Amino acid sequence: MTSILQCPVCREPLLPTATGYQCATNHSFDAARQGYVNLVLAHNKHSKEPGDDPDMIQSRRRFLDLGYYLKVSDGINRTIATALSSLVPHTNCSILDAGCGEGFYLQRLKEALAHGSAAHLPIEYHGVDVSKFAVRQATQRDRTMAWFVASINDLPFLDGSLDIVLSVFSPANILEFARILKQSGSLIFISPGPRHLNGLREIIYPVTREHAAPAITEKAEALFAPATVARITYPLALVSNQEIMDLLAMTPYYWNIDRETKAKVAALDRLQLDVDVEIRVFKKKSGDGP
């Protein structure tokens, strides 16, 4: 039996058991009743419950399920289908959503690839997030995928084991991504474009500056070929206070603004804004890492 999972204690392969996973040195990790497995070691936690809390996860799920980011999801799906197009038919393929949240993007990716040009590939889907509340929600979208509570700084995968790593509006760890990707594997990195969420940002900040290019571009130079970049832009009209507050809860602004500014946003029941997203494809250089 083979596995691409790595024990977070001893780094040996983790193999599936009747109740979860176990390595050759008998470190075992049982699945929760919802179907996910927690691979965060207690001494590595920086707080009692790392990551997004239940209210933030519910806000994200409500907002994404309204379909406002379907165009972003569709762009991601097309990009990954293209990245997979060079693989030999019937070759086993593994995809990781690193920072999967409540599973919206990975679930839609699976549906798109199953009915598109990658339908001939046997694909294993993995989602990882440090928030157990997020991963619990993700299991409700599709329990056939492998969901794990884990940190992007210590990903539970063997060296050179994945074809695609997807990172959507999430922190990135370039060294870990390069370690777990196969030779010529692809990192698909989604970040805010220059005008992303203008409209909301103009309420929050006295002076609105364009988003700069993400720092990952420079950090990736040593391990990845220069990125190709695609941009998705469209206007968005939110039509209720619930939608506006759910969007705010999905962003770093929710934590960074003062009470007065948050009250100003909370008073809105209509909001026009821009969606502006950049999709970068980094190809792991041959000869780097495993």
Report whether pLDDT(255) > 90.
Answer: no
Q: What are the tokens at 70?
A: 């379907």
Beta strands across the sheet bearing 15-16: 15-16, 20-22, 28-30
Give the model's pLDDT for residue 46: 61
Q: What is the pLDDT of residues 187-200, one digit of tens each?
A: 999 999 999 999 99
Strand duo 20-22 + 28-30: pairing: antiparallel
Please, what is the angle between helix 104-114 and helix 54-65, to 10°?
40
Give the model's pLDDT for residue 141: 96
Domains and CATH numbers, the chain: 1-30 (no CATH), 38-284 (3.40.50.150)
**DSSP H or E segment with residue 198:** none
Mean pLDDT value across residues 80-98? 89
Confidence of residue 91 (pLDDT cuts 50, 70, 90): confident
In this structure, are residues 154 and 176 in contact, taking their beta carbons and an 8 Å threshold? yes
Please, what is the angle between helix 104-114 and helix 132-141, to 10°?
30
Name beta bridge partners: 252: none
Percent of the chain predicted with pLDDT > 70: 96
pTM metric for this prediction: 0.94
**DSSP H or E segment with residue 265:** helix 259-266
Give the model's pLDDT for residue 47: 60
What's the residue count for the chain?
290
Q: What are the tokens at 218?
A: 């420079």
Q: What is the pLDDT of residues 65-80, one digit of tens each?
A: 999 999 999 999 999 9
